[in-house]
Structure 1
Amino acid sequence: MKVLYDHQSFTGVSYGGVSRYFFELMRSFAKRSDIEFELSLRLSNNEYLDQTSFSRHLRYRSLAQVRNAHRIASVLNRLYSLQRVKAGKFDIFHPTYYHRYFLNAIGSKPFVLTFHDATSERYGKQYPEVGEGLYDLKKQLMRRADCIISVSEFSKQEILRFFPVEPEKIKVIHLGTTLGESLPASETLAAPLEAPYLLYVGKRGLYKNFDGFFRAIQPVLYRHPDLHLICAGGGVFSQDEQALFHAAGLVNRVHYRPANDTSLIALYRHARAFVFPSLNEGFGIPVLEAYSSGCPVVLSNRSSLPEVGGDAALYFDPEDDDSIAGAVERVLTDDALQADLRRKGTERLRNFSCDQTARQTLEVYQSLH
């Protein structure tokens, strides 16, 4: 059996959850003899693909800052992917994002669509930049898809809430993480900061609720004058964020760190706690990353996060400042609770793996072949 993946999530994106998901799928399949795959990609600066032999794309890092470079790469990649779809040398097609370019060319070949979250459906009116215009496109793709993979039970319910899809067409397959597999737990990594710190990971805008989280923990930071906050990834601080930190008198205790796998492991391992205040997550890979690094986890009680976190996290209401501050204060001051969360996180992680995700995805492909 041969699966064709397309270019979409690898174009113009160096890092990101969706491209990581497809990269890990292909990396798992590359170890198996019962499946072949092709990635139809010509131009990409995706960092994950640098580690592999299964993609023969060209990198254009020196041109990445040139105006319209990503747009041109996207057009060329789409033309190439369309050519590969029309060639028909595959059994299953699995596009890596939501675009209809292939619909008229795919004929009767089965295709699988992965649905990550309903952020654009939930928050499109409130935050148009999350992709308000995607609804009709998603609906068209879901109607034609032979199977829809949902990354959580929560996301499956979101599909059924927003789209006219039969429940039996949706297969829930949880994600995994390989963060930390390349570094043994015994290997010492230097602490990114000598002072104790809370860790926040990923984008900070809109429904990610970073501003609300920062407002809520200000009293905690004032009560613990040696405590810092590190934000990993998600881009450097904006002027508005810097003004927020200045106004709180905490500008010297909030730090930005770029994130690659090695730096992330060090950040998780040395943090007093990882805090995830998001209002909406389709899955929430950072929860598993924290578990894999032995970091206590404090989570929003919304969307898929309780499904992923299970009993290995401390939960709060992300729209209640006292609830956030209370949960953070508890984990900071209770050593027994920290140890319990670390132990439970290690146990919880056993329920999730990238090879398991790949195995269940292969079962979906086989059911359609």
Structure 2
Amino acid sequence: MKKQIRKEDLVVDARMINSSGIGTYLKNILPIISENFNLTLLGDLKELASFEWTKGLKIIEFNLKIYSLKEQLLYPFIIPKTDLFWCPHFNAPFLPTRARKMLTTIYDVNHLANKESSSFAKWIYAKLLYALAVRKSEKIITISKFSKAELLKYTNAKTKKIKIVYCGVDFAKFANVYQNLEYEVPEKYILYVGNIKPHKNLLTLLRAYKILPENIKQTYKLVILGKKEGFITPDLEIFKFIEEHSLMKYIFFTGYVEDYEVPLIYQKASLFVFPSLYEGFGLPVLEAMASGVPVLTSNATSLSEVGGEAAMYFDPTNFNELSVKIQEFVLNQELGKMYVRKGKLQAKRFSWETAGKRHIEIIDDLINESTYGAA
């Protein structure tokens, strides 16, 4: 039953609703929030109107590029008078707006922690945006204990300002699939999900895969789910490595995949490998677990916090260790089955419904403080 919408006004920047990680977050949190507030969305009118839950909501056309100076200059004119403005990324407005208060979600501080991954100018601009978002936001939502610690390390954020809300996974979506995949994937494969930015560490997986015995490579292809073009900081060394070592016959790039096809690609995998060097949360780990796929993941940053005892871990700087552990899984079916059982239980601990309720509590507290001046 739909809840009665309250009178409090909430404005959300929803331009990134079809981005990979942030888009998944918004698609799951916003429908829950929309049932509790007088919600206005900023973004592409046609894009946002395609979602059933946006019907009846006010949408303000706002298509400017994320991180651009122009978005910052126009924020004060675009954001209407409201009780609270929620920016679900660190590109929060640094000029005054008509919102009484501001809430910002900061998933990680990768741009600051991995300074070498971008130009000095981009690092300076990111540092400025993080600093202003932290200073101007009344509260900050982040998605793991690790990310909270990083925020405290790299910014001037105060502990009391930061609220941890774990992401969720739509267990039913990944555990129950009824559609047929519309294009072919290999019969058996090891799966990687993510983009090709350097911190995703795909090159280590490729190095580990390269030294697998030939019979394993012939049997288990490597499927890379995600776009390989269009990123601000792509890892171009990946394509050079694939070409130099004649790996194309073993590797399948899916390119962009529709939302409804993603669960099937997970479920058909024999093993999921996530070699990332830096993650605020690591949602693909939970998606693979919910899909009934054994998970082999890096032990870096937040990943052990999310995977618990339901994943096997490896040092993301050691491709030899990763190669050995891949062989353990493909040669020992019982090992995989054990991790599948553990993974399904672990994934059930993280729900979007719980995350959505926590967001509502945080927004409620901020709006009440704004309205009544509560401490």
TM class by smaller structure: 0.7 to 0.9
Contact 1:278 1:318 in 2 (8 A): yes
Aligned residue in 2 for 1:6: 13
| Structure 2 counterpart SS, 1:25 | helix
Aligned residue in 2 for 1:66: none
Aligned residue in 2 for 1:328: 326
- Does 15-24 or 159-168 show the bigger shift? 15-24
TM-superposed deviation, 1:155: 0.2
Aligned residue in 2 for 1:139: 131
With over 3 angstroms needed to count, the CA separation of the structure-2 counterparts of 1:255 and 1:302, relative to structure 1, is same
In 2, the alpha carbon distance for the partners of 1:130 and 1:172 equals 30
% of aligned pairs identical? 24
Q: TM-score, normalised by structure 1?
A: 0.84
**Which of these residues, 263, 267, 270, is aligned with residue 268 of structure 2?**
270
With over 3 angstroms needed to count, the CA separation of the structure-2 counterparts of 1:171 and 1:339, relative to structure 1, is same
Aligned residue in 2 for 1:63: none
**Which of these residues, 193, 216, 240, is aligned with residue 201 of structure 1?**
193
With over 3 angstroms needed to count, the CA separation of the structure-2 counterparts of 1:214 and 1:194, relative to structure 1, is closer
In 2, the alpha carbon distance for the partners of 1:321 and 1:42 equals 42
In 2, the alpha carbon distance for the partners of 1:265 and 1:235 equals 20
Contact 1:180 1:265 in 2 (8 A): no
Are 1:235 and 2:237 counterparts?
no
Amino acid across the alignment from 2:252: H
Contact 1:43 1:58 in 2 (8 A): yes
Aligned residue in 1 for 2:103: 112
Are 1:51 and 2:54 counterparts?
no
* Structure 1 residue runs without a partner (length 5+): 61-68
In 2, the alpha carbon distance for the partners of 1:166 and 1:78 equals 24
With over 3 angstroms needed to count, the CA separation of the structure-2 counterparts of 1:59 and 1:36, relative to structure 1, is closer
With over 3 angstroms needed to count, the CA separation of the structure-2 counterparts of 1:130 and 1:158, relative to structure 1, is farther
TM-superposed deviation, 1:173: 0.3
In 2, the alpha carbon distance for the partners of 1:53 and 1:77 equals 26
| Structure 2 counterpart SS, 1:220 | coil
Amino acid across the alignment from 1:257: T
With over 3 angstroms needed to count, the CA separation of the structure-2 counterparts of 1:248 and 1:56, relative to structure 1, is farther
Amino acid across the alignment from 2:300: R
- Does 311-320 or 226-235 show the bigger shift? 226-235
Are 1:255 and 2:264 counterparts?
no
Q: How many residues align?
A: 349
Aligned residue in 2 for 1:302: 300
Contact 2:227 2:254 in 1 (8 A): no
Amino acid across the alignment from 2:161: K
Aligned residue in 1 for 2:241: 244
| Structure 1 counterpart SS, 2:91 | coil
Aligned residue in 1 for 2:29: 25
Aligned residue in 1 for 2:3: none
1:222-254, Cα deviation, whole Å (9 max, x unpaired): 241222001111325998644422332322110
Are 1:167 and 2:159 counterparts?
yes
Contact 2:107 2:143 in 1 (8 A): yes
Contact 2:13 2:86 in 1 (8 A): yes
Contact 2:77 2:97 in 1 (8 A): no
TM-superposed deviation, 1:174: 0.3
Amino acid across the alignment from 2:29: L
Contact 1:8 1:96 in 2 (8 A): no
With over 3 angstroms needed to count, the CA separation of the structure-2 counterparts of 1:44 and 1:275, relative to structure 1, is farther
Are 1:35 and 2:25 counterparts?
no
RMSD across aligned positions (CA): 3.1
1:239-297, Cα deviation, whole Å (9 max, x unpaired): 86444223323221101113222221111101111110010011111112112211111
Aligned residue in 2 for 1:346: 344
* Structure 2 residue runs without a partner (length 5+): 1-7, 369-375
Aligned residue in 1 for 2:285: 287
In 1, the alpha carbon distance for the partners of 2:112 and 2:250 equals 36
In 1, the alpha carbon distance for the partners of 2:315 and 2:301 equals 11
Contact 1:42 1:80 in 2 (8 A): no
| Structure 2 counterpart SS, 1:94 | strand
Q: TM-score, normalised by structure 2?
A: 0.83
In 1, the alpha carbon distance for the partners of 2:157 and 2:330 equals 45
- Does 309-318 or 214-223 show the bigger shift? 214-223
Amino acid across the alignment from 1:207: H
In 1, the alpha carbon distance for the partners of 2:282 and 2:334 equals 26
Contact 1:95 1:113 in 2 (8 A): yes
In 2, the alpha carbon distance for the partners of 1:269 and 1:348 equals 17
TM-superposed deviation, 1:339: 0.9
TM-superposed deviation, 1:79: 7.6
- Does 271-280 or 322-331 show the bigger shift? 322-331
Contact 1:40 1:81 in 2 (8 A): no
In 2, the alpha carbon distance for the partners of 1:71 and 1:204 equals 21
- Does 213-222 or 315-324 show the bigger shift? 213-222
